[in-house]
Amino acid sequence: MSKDCENVAPGTVTLTPPSGEKQTDSTTRQYMAAMIINLLAFTQGNVVGWVSPSLPFLQSDHSPLAGGPISDESASWVGSIACLGGLAAVPIFTYLSTRHSRKVTGYLAGVLLVPSWLIILYTDSERSLFAARFIAGLSWGGGVILVSLFISEVAEDSLRGRLGTYIAVFSNGGLLFTYILGSCVSYRTLCFFSLTVVALFIVLFALIPESPYYLVYKGNIDQAKTSLKWLRGENEELVELEIERLSERVAKLKINYPNKSFLETLFLPGVLKGLLIGVGLFANLNLCGFMAVLSYSVNIFEESGSSVSPYVAAVIIAALRLGASYTSSLLVDRVGRKVLLIGSNAVMAVCLSALGGYFYLRQSIDMRQYGILLVVSLSVYIIALSLGVSTLPYLILHEILPVEARSLATITCQCVLWLFSFLVIKYFQSFKDILEIHGCYWFYATCCTVFTLFCYLCVPETKNRSLESILQGLSGGNNIPEEDNERKSLRNL
């Protein structure tokens, strides 16, 4: 019931401390907690980014493996098998985060990366390398579940949108970190630095408290009060009120949720439509081709024949993605989710069409002097991706479903995400052999065009709207465009 726990928090009322000084202190504490837990997201960026600088080395004559350079088939497994680990992590970490606390689950997600990086650091076996990447995928998948869950349970309403997008900011930071190091240090040194980040997370994670919602759920009221005092400040009245509301919400969930079967949950008002929208958003995330672009960015630039250094280009792209994801965190509560999604898909469609044209013309024309076109098109694509499609699916999923359905929806969407990620990365090379590189880009451009229409026609705008308003709209009722002032002050977490 992990994701139900996650989404009970959004059904919880939180208040703002009356004192400006205490409010500032509590806000600082929440930012601190969000940044520490998102170090786990930073390590996910390391896991994804490691592939791009490492595959060319593993396929070279200097490969550290006993069997020498790895084949294209083996390279596709190195890039994709972590996604199978992520898929396996969904039921495991969903269960553990409910039964054994958020903190224990967080430590497990971090600790799993230690043997993974150590194996990569010292192995000379191809199979051991596959095993290490699978273990890294378990951590990756567990981290995705835990970070979103933890933030939803500790952040005040006014900070929910911004802190909820930090998972993208930090994972992109990890990607940039890995690309920069991968361009200037050795294969083994890169693994060592990645281990250092894991160690930093494990140490700093001890500084932040357990989720107050989880503690109330388990009946540890005194510990929950201590956690809230750390997160919200020392205002006793505020803490007592939030504990009372958390307790009421937990009691209702324990009474109502077990009484609903899978089908009863699926056919609650607005749930089926919300679930289909969520599946569509997560399919969008992979069918825009970003996993293939990130995992094979160095190889793509090498194949282009561009005079731009492939490693430099990859670093530039990662930096743009980091900046765009941070910009998204600033815009999400101003511009709105739907506008960002539509614009993101439309711009990506144009950029991918241009990239396809570049590679198509390269078959008959010397395009090396136009290498900057490749860099610009791919860079704008990455910016558009990070402003919407790669940043918002989790946030929107948590906003369009009732508490009873969020476990079902989150597990379903996570499985869609990891399965599509595996297929896109594993078979990118085969896909490229069939359609050629320009055909791949045109296929992804077509997908982005379709998802532009999907977002325009099907995805509701959730900015400044209550859960009741959103569900009413999804179930065919009249939409309530905006919350009144009272609900804004007592909005769901």
Of 126-130, 179-183, 250-254, 416-420, where does mean pLDDT reach its minimum?
Answer: 250-254
Tell me the pLDDT band of 177, cut-offs 50, 70 and 90: very high
Q: What is the pLDDT of residue 40?
A: 95
Mean pLDDT, residues 398-405: 72
Rama region for 407: left / alpha / beta (φ>0; ψ in -120 to 50; rest): alpha
Three-state SS at 13:
strand
CB contact at 8 A, 205 and 37: yes
Q: Does residue 413 or residue 462 have the better pLDDT?
A: 413
Q: The domain containing residue 89 runs over which residues?
A: 2-489
Distance CA(346)–CA(343), nearest Å, equals 5
CA–CA dist 411, 317 (Å, integer): 31
pLDDT band (50, 70, 90) for residue 8: very low
Give the pLDDT confidence of 406-460 residue by residue, as tens digits: 677 778 888 888 998 888 888 887 888 898 888 988 999 999 999 999 999 988 8
Between CA 52 and CA 152 the distance in angstroms is 32
Please report how the helices 157-164 and 166-184 are oriented relative to each other, as an axis angle in degrees rounded to 10: 30
**Res. 483: pLDDT tops 60:** no
Question: Rounded to 10 degrees, what is the CA torsion of 435, 445, 384, 361?
Answer: 60
Q: Which residue has the higher pLDDT, 405 or 129?
A: 129
* Of the candidate ranges 17-21, 79-83, 337-341, 404-408, the one whose mean pLDDT is the lowest: 17-21
Backbone φ/ψ region at 289: left (φ over 0), alpha (ψ -120 to 50), beta = left
The DSSP H or E segment spanning 168 is helix 166-184
Which amino acid would we find at residue 112? L
Average pLDDT taken over every residue of the chain: 81
**Whole-structure pTM over 0.85, yes or no?**
no
CATH number at residue 368: 1.20.1250.20
Q: Is the pLDDT of residue 487 over 60?
A: no
What is the residue type of 88? Answer: A
pLDDT of residue 492: 37
Helix (H) or strand (E) segment spanning residue 91? helix 72-99
Number of domains in the chain: 1
Q: Which pLDDT score, from 0 to 100, does residue 333 have?
A: 76
The pLDDT assigned to 17 comes to 43
pLDDT at 87: 93
Q: What is the pLDDT of residue 38?
A: 94
Q: Which of 115-119, 140-144, 175-179, 402-406 has the least mean pLDDT?
A: 402-406
pLDDT at 207: 92
Identify the band that residue 77 occupies on the pLDDT scale cut at 50, 70 and 90: very high
For residue 203, what pLDDT is reported? 96
pLDDT at 5: 43
Express each pLDDT in 204-237 by its tens digit: 999 999 988 888 888 888 998 888 888 887 778 8
Quote the CA–CA distance of 409 and 274 in Å, as a whole number: 8
According to the model, what pLDDT value does residue 404 have?
A: 66
Nearest to 400 by CA among 333, 315, 460, 317: 460
| 3-class DSSP state of 492 | strand
Can you tell me the distance from the alpha carbon of 197 to that of 205, in angstroms, rounded to the nearest whole number? 12
Question: With contact defined as beta carbons under 8 Å apart, do 444 and 385 qualify?
Answer: no
- Give the mean model confidence (pLDDT) for residues 372-382: 80
Q: What percent of the chain has pLDDT over 70?
A: 81
Residues 234 and 153: their CA atoms lie apart, in Å, by: 18
Tell me the average pLDDT across 305-328: 78
Name the band, by pLDDT with cuts 50, 70 and 90, for residue 480: very low
Contact 461, 479 (CB under 8 A): no
More confident residue, 157 or 50: 50
What per-residue string of b and e applies to 334-368 under the rule 16 or more CB within 10 Å gives b?
A: eeebbbbbbbbbbbbbbbbbbbbbbbbebeeeebe
Residue 294 confidence (pLDDT): 64
